[in-house]
Amino acid sequence: MDRARLVITGRVQGVFYRYSTVTEAKRIGQLTGWVRNLPNGDVEALIEGKKDKINELIQWCQKGPPGSNVLGVTTDWEKYVGEFPEFSIEY
């Protein structure tokens, strides 16, 4: 099991990016963690699960939902903790 922290830059707030990320994580399955808006306009996500499934969500995050304009996704791999029961929006 792995864990990745993403910071997504571009036009990613006000375009249902967080909601769409949760929907996509649930479609992929077996992923837990959260996604949230950052004060500077970026979006941050913390994802836990199997590396191939995390990479699938990262690939989706590079495109995002319709209406978004993703300029970049920074990925930092961290030690797996297993602290989340599901994937959700964090406020």
Catalytically active residues are 18, 37
Picking from 59, 65, 54, the residue whose alpha carbon sits closest to that of residue 87 is 54
Are the beta carbons of 65 and 17 closer than 8 angstroms?
yes
Cα(11)–Cα(30) distance, integer angstroms: 28
- From the list 13, 17, 15, the residue with the least C-alpha distance to 38 is 13
